[in-house]
Amino acid sequence: MKKLSVRRRHPLAALVVLLLALAATGGLYATLAPADEAQAEASAQSLAIEEGKKLYDVGCSSCHGSGGQGSSDGPSLTGVGAAAVDFQVGTGRMPLQQPGPQAEEKPVVYTQAEIDQLAAYVASLGPGPSVPNESAYDPSAGDAARGGELFRTNCSQCHNFTGQGGALTHGKEAPALDNVDPRYIYEAMVTGPASMPSFPNSTLPEEEKQDIIAWLHAVNTADSPSPGGLGLGGFGPVSEGLFAWTFGMGALIAVAVWIGARTAKARKS
Amino acid sequence: MSTATKDPKTRGKAPAGEKIADWADGRVGLYSLAKANMRKIFPDHWSFLLGEICLYSFIILILTGVYLTMFFVPSMAEVEYHGSYVPMQGVMMTEAYASTLDISFDVRGGLLVRQIHHWAALIFVVGIMFHMMRVFFTGSFRKPREINWLFGWTLFILAVFTGLTGYSLPDDLLSGTGIRFMEGAILSMPVVGTYIQMFLFGGEFPGHDIIPRFFVIHVLLLPGIMLGLVAAHLILIIYHKHTHFAGPGRTNDNVVGMPFLPIYMAKAGGFFFLVFGVIAAIAATATINPVWVLGPYRPDQVSTNAQPDWYLGFSEGLVRMMPGWEWVIPGGYTLNFGLMIPLAVFPGVLVLIGLYPFFESWLTRDNREHHIAQRPRNAPTRTGLGVAWLVAYGVALVAGGNDVWAVNFNLSINAITWVCRIGFFVFPVVAFVITRRICLGLQRRDREKVLHGRETGVIKRLPHGEFVEVHEPLPREALYTLTAHDQDRPAELGPETDENGVRRKVSPLERLRVKISRGYFGEQAQIPKPTSEEYREITSGHGHH
Ligand code: HEM
């Protein structure tokens, strides 16, 4: 101790302290690196928001207003969250082309990177649901049986038993859910597009959303099993009745005509 | 052990079959019974086989239904599902639904038999409708066959209700919604509705009784009655003999065709297997009522695209077309016209269909027996009415599926409903007018053909330059066929006064009858068929080409 106190006033002491301080800062820097990454991310984020705003101003502001406040041609986007943008633009609904009963699904016009930027910008306008992690909508992690019950309770009144789609009033419709990416199923539930109600986690917890996705995966994809044979569209008695009248009765009448013509006197010698 | 044993048959001994036949004949008079009926004649025409399609699908329904009954559990007790269909694992459901899943996935051949049973049910009722149309449009319901028309009509109604009770048995979300609909329909009946509902369900909906009750009705009561009616229907056909279309040698007093045994029987047997084959092929390739994805019935759940099987689509459509009017009358009772009116129209229409033969015989006062099937064109008003009815029926069917059409053809469900509402009244009228005109046109063409012969397409130039088409006279058989029918005359009111100059009393009903009769058989409603005088005059060569 004495030595240290003696050399305290050594001309190089200041330098040593400086070195030590630098080392300590370096160590601190190393341990606190995430904070800095966050800072870097934050700047990337602000870059994305900036880019997103540019895209937004060109493609969306005419309807949704220059600051997302909405206009007579489109609703306000404040608080709809990144999930809504990812869903609306990723399924080709937005940008809207022509007014109709409901936004049409068109070919997607933005790259996923651009969609992320748009989403970042809209998310910056107000807090809202964010784009879910893949683990949240992985169908294989859900319980299809429970999902089926939840689907029949919450969704089938509009989308049909297995999500084959159903009509709403005045040309609106709840679309068929085959071939919808699980991510969009999840996002549709949290954001509630058009006349669909939204199902926030407070009413439909995350695991239950996953169960619903598992159910749809089990019964309504191109490779879900169809033990009974041709599915006839899954529309139930209407398509079955049509089939019975056309193919069923058609085949039987053809057989009847054939048998009716096969009379004993038909053999001409 | 390869030594062939020769069996020395004594010549005098009758073969076993003959002995059994002899034995039976001695006790139940089989020979005379068979002799009387074996040579019954059945005419050949494909449309006469429509009834057989019904008969065979009914037999298929009984055979497959017996198989299903062995595995189906008609109980509404709750169980947790642990069968082999994964997406239903652990779901609470009634034993009825669970056993239907078991039939579909864990019983050998169960799914195929279920699908055969259900497809056969749809085709059974389609067949009945086609068969009824055949009988209606050919006037084969006329004396002496009115009673058999009623038997067939009852079978039609029972088939519809057997179907309703059948597709309700699995207790899935779709059929449960149907039962709920039925409950609503019953409740909409003024005064008696609530009592009937409580009686049928044994308490509040859904209760625990409805599936077991429907089961008994479905597998025992209705099929039993139907079996009896089918037998009665067939006995009457044999007794009346079959109708046939007019032709040379085919008159009102005979039937030309093949004897029941052996030819007809062989054909019928073959036809049975063909019908079975077609239905089995459909059932093996196309899903029907995939209850496993519909889920068990729970009163708090519902799905869009919830329709009854097609044979009740008519009533569904009527309800969907009807505006949802209701009145609350003093005392707090609700009159629900949105359900009451359609559900009064439904049986009302059925009654009209059942009574039609009696209406026509009242109209024509025709007491003769008719064994010749009419060609639809020769009864233009009846044919027009039939087509008008079919169009109204079709409109109601379309309305019953309005949501399915809306989704698949990107239409507005409201627009479809409005088109159906208006179309239900307008289209049948248009169809009636058009059909009657077509019939009259065909009658006119028949008349032309009889009087002037068939157009050959050969053009001849006459000496003075005129071009004419050569007409070739019809063969005598064709002439007969085209003129064999008789034409009803419109009824007359008779003289205003009787022989004493006193005004005759004519009942309003009689006046109505005369009016309708003019509409049916008056000048604007049929083309007089050529008489033999006209024919002779023209063919005697007065310069007609
Ligand atoms: C006469 C005409 C009949 C009609 C129109 C008819 C119609 C139907 C229909 C539509 C179903 C629903 C099938 C499904 O999709 O699951 C059904 C189920 C059933 N039928 Fe019939 N049926 C008839 C006769 C019979 C007979 C005679 C029996 C028994 C002897 C029977 C026994 C059953 C049983 C046990 C079920 C429930 C099993 C299941 O749904 O898997 N049926 N019937």
Do the domain assignments include residue A196?
Answer: yes
Q: What are phi and psi of B13, to 5 degrees?
A: -75, 135
Do the domain assignments include residue B24?
Answer: yes
Q: Which two tokens stand for residue B401?
A: 């599926």
Residues B332 and B469 in one domain: no
- Where does the pLDDT of residue A266 fall: very low under 50, low under 70, confident under 90, or very high at 90 and above? very low
Please tell me the distance between residue B152's alpha carbon and the centre of ligand 1 in angstroms: 20
Pairing state between β B244-245 and B372-373: parallel
* Cα–Cα distance for residue pair B384/B375, rounded to 1 Å: 13
Q: Of B116, B91, B103, B110, which Cα lies nearest the Cα of B294?
A: B91
* Cα–Cα distance for residue pair B62/B333, rounded to 1 Å: 44
Do the domain assignments include residue B328?
Answer: yes
To test the pocket of ligand 1, the residue of B103, B107, B169, B210 to mutate (highest count of ligand atoms within 8 Å of its CB) is B169
Kindly report the CATH number assigned to the domain that includes residue A165. Answer: 1.10.760
Predicted local confidence at residue A249, as pLDDT: 93
Q: Hey, CA dihedral for B374, B380, B385, B389, is it positive or negative?
A: positive
- Where does the pLDDT of residue A71 fall: very low under 50, low under 70, confident under 90, or very high at 90 and above? confident
Judged against a pLDDT cut of 70, whether residue A11 lies above it is answered with no
User: Rounded mean pLDDT of A55-82?
Assistant: 88
* Cα–Cα distance for residue pair B73/B106, rounded to 1 Å: 14
Please tell me the distance between residue A259's alpha carbon and the centre of ligand 1 in angstroms: 29
Q: Please name the residue that has the structure tokens 């029926």.
A: B393
Do the domain assignments include residue A66?
Answer: yes
Do the domain assignments include residue B425?
Answer: no
Q: Which two tokens stand for residue B85?
A: 């269909």
Q: What is the mean pLDDT of chain A?
A: 84
Residues A207 and A115 in one domain: no
Q: Which two tokens stand for residue B117?
A: 């049973």
Alpha helix segments (H runs only) across B335-462: 337-364, 380-400, 402-408, 413-452
Exposure on the CB side of residue B252, measured as CA atoms within 13 A = 11
* Cα–Cα distance for residue pair B87/A55, rounded to 1 Å: 44
Exposed / middle / buried, residue A138 (Cβ in 10 Å: 0-12, 13-18, 19+) = middle
Q: Is B454 helix (H, G, I), strand (E, B) or coil?
A: strand
Q: Which two tokens stand for residue B437?
A: 């005109």
Higher pLDDT, A18 or A251: A251
Report chain A residues whose CB lies below 8 A from the CB of B173: 152, 156, 161
Predicted local confidence at residue A125, as pLDDT: 87
Closest residue to A259, CB basis, from B49, B290, B414: B49
Residues B66 and B27 in one domain: no
Do the domain assignments include residue B333?
Answer: yes
Do residues A236 and B303 make contact, with C-beta atoms less than 8 angstroms apart? no
Do the domain assignments include residue A260?
Answer: no
User: Rounded mean pLDDT of A219-227?
Assistant: 86
Predicted local confidence at residue A268, as pLDDT: 41
Residues B83 and B19 in one domain: no
Do residues B264 and B42 make contact, with C-beta atoms less than 8 angstroms apart? yes
Residues A169 and A207 in one domain: yes
Predicted local confidence at residue A260, as pLDDT: 78
Residues A163 and A237 in one domain: yes
Q: Please name the residue that has the structure tokens 């055979």.
A: B63
To test the pocket of ligand 1, the residue of B61, B116, B164 to mutate (highest count of ligand atoms within 8 Å of its CB) is B61
Judged against a pLDDT cut of 80, whether residue A5 lies above it is answered with no
Residues B470 and B330 in one domain: no
Residues B79 and B225 in one domain: yes
Do the domain assignments include residue A141?
Answer: no
Please tell me the distance between residue B118's alpha carbon and the centre of ligand 1 in angstroms: 7
Predicted local confidence at residue B5, as pLDDT: 46
Predicted local confidence at residue A30, as pLDDT: 56
With a pLDDT cut of 70, the percent of chain A lying above it is: 84
Give the number of other Cβ atoms within 10 Å of residue B227's Cβ.
12
* Cα–Cα distance for residue pair A25/A204, rounded to 1 Å: 47
**How many domains, in total, are found in chain A?**
2
> Which residues are CB-contacts of A171 (< 8 A; sequence separation ≥ 6)?
A100, A101, A102, B406, B410, B411, B412, B413, B415
3-state helix, strand and coil shares in percent for chain B, rounded to the nearest 5: 60, 10, 30
CB contact under 8 A, B309 and A240: yes
Q: Of A67, A74, A79, A224, which Cα lies nearest the Cα of A144?
A: A224
* Cα–Cα distance for residue pair A78/B533, rounded to 1 Å: 92
Ligand 1 atom showing the smallest separation from residue B168 Cα: 12
Identity of the residue numbered B443: Q
Do residues A135 and A206 make contact, with C-beta atoms less than 8 angstroms apart? no
Q: What is the pTM of this model?
A: 0.86
User: Rounded mean pLDDT of A7-25?
Assistant: 68
* Cα–Cα distance for residue pair B396/B428, rounded to 1 Å: 12
> Residues of A annotated in the binding site for heme c, as ranges?
60, 63-64, 155, 158-159
Q: Which domain holds residue B144?
A: 38-244+256-297+312-374
Judged against a pLDDT cut of 70, whether residue A33 lies above it is answered with no
Do the domain assignments include residue B260?
Answer: yes
Residues A101 and A65 in one domain: yes
**How many domains, in total, are found in chain B?**
3
Element holding B258 (H helix, E strand)? strand B258-259
Exposed / middle / buried, residue B4 (Cβ in 10 Å: 0-12, 13-18, 19+) = exposed
Q: Which domain holds residue A96?
A: 52-131
Residues B365 and B480 in one domain: no
Do the domain assignments include residue B57?
Answer: yes
Peptide bond into B144 cis (omega under 30): yes
Give the number of other Cβ atoms within 10 Å of residue A232's Cβ.
18
Closest residue to A157, CB basis, from B302, B311, B313: B302
Alpha helix segments (H runs only) across A155-205: 156-159, 182-191
Q: For chain B, which ranges sit under pLDDT 70?
A: 1-12, 30, 33, 36-39, 260-261, 541-545
* Cα–Cα distance for residue pair B176/B457, rounded to 1 Å: 63
